[in-house]
């Protein structure tokens, strides 16, 4: 394991983000297959568990519609919990760099989150917007009432790049854009594994 001077912890932290439908879960499942020693923590799971305990939501897709103050508190507490988990291990944090709320884009990695996690690298998983669009149409597991067009998806992906860089600047992390091509999630997974 690598000694991290910045945060006084051992192990690396890599944040992995990507818009819904980009295939992030599939890629991270491949990462776990390849490297069982890497711990994958899902930020949404952490926020959902906290929100459910406070009976604020019933489904994870309701989190981004909560009043912003609630989202901020959940986000901060999730960062603390994840930071605890990540003390001595190599950790991947599965999250978002931008969250769409009724009030506009909410940063997934504002200063208090990214400084708390202190990632070595921020990875953005990307795929062609048309493919993301098709995957969303076919995904029946999530509540996706607000169906974006491929052009809107492209705009959001461009903004996600900007958000990833902005967060990285705060902590001196590197940023890596990784393409998840159709039918080949292992390739993207391998790119992530190489970061450890």
Contacting residues toward Mg ion, per CB under 5 A: 25
Nearer residue to Mg ion within complex by CB, 40 or 166: 40
| Beta bridge partners of residue 14, listed in sequence order | 92, 121
95 touches 83 (CB < 8 A) = no
Q: Considering only 28-36, 92-100, 153-161, 170-178, which stretch makes contact with ligand AMP by CB under 6 A? A: 92-100
Q: Which does 23 bind (CB under 5 to 8 A by kind): Mg ion, ligand AMP, none?
A: none
Q: Which stretch binds ligand AMP (CB under 6 A): 2-10, 91-99, 133-141, 170-178?
A: 91-99
Q: Where are the beta strands (DSSP E) in the chain?
A: 3-4, 9-10, 13-17, 39-42, 91-95, 98-101, 104-107, 121-126, 174-179
Maximum C-alpha span of the chain: 45
The contact pattern for ligand AMP, residues 99-118, with x = CB under 6 A and - = no contact, is x--------x----x-----
Tokens linked to 123 = 């990875």
User: Of 108, 135, 101, which Cα lies nearest the Cα of 23?
Assistant: 135
Residue 130 vs 139, nearer CB to Mg ion: 139
Residue 90 sits in the site that holds ligand AMP (CB under 6 A): no
Nearest approach, Cβ of residue 17 and ligand AMP (Å): 8
Stretch that binds ligand AMP, among 93-101, 118-126, 155-163, 168-176 (CB under 6 A): 93-101
C-beta of 184: minimal distance to Mg ion in Å? 19
Q: In 3D, which of 64, 61, 45 has the Cα closest to residue 141?
A: 61
Of the candidate residues 11, 28, 57, 95, the single one contacting ligand AMP (CB under 6 A): 95
Which residues, 6+ apart, have CB-to-CB distance to 94 below 8 Å? Answer: 16, 24, 25, 28, 40, 41, 42, 43, 44
């Amino acid at each position: 394991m690598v000694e991290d001077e910045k945060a006084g912890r051992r192990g690396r932290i890599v944040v992995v983000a990507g818009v819904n439908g980009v295939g992030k879960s599939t890629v991270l499942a491949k990462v776990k297959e390849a490297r069982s020693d890497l711990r994958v923590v899902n930020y949404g799971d952490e926020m959902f568990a906290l929100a459910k305990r406070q009976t604020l939501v019933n489904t994870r897709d309701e989190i981004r519609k909560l009043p912003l103050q609630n989202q901020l508190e959940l986000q901060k507490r999730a960062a603390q919990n994840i930071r605890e988990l990540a003390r001595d291990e190599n950790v991947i944090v599965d999250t978002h760099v931008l969250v769409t709320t009724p009030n506009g884009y909410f940063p997934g990695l504002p200063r208090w989150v990214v400084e708390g996690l202190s990632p070595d690298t921020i990875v953005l998983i990307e795929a062609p917007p048309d493919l993301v669009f098709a995957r969303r149409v076919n995904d029946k597991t999530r509540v996706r009432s607000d169906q974006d067009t491929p052009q809107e998806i492209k705009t959001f992906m461009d903004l996600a790049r900007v958000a990833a860089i902005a967060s990285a600047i705060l902590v001196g992390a590197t940023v890596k854009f990784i393409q998840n091509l159709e039918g080949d999630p292992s390739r993207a997974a391998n790119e992530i594994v190489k970061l450890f």
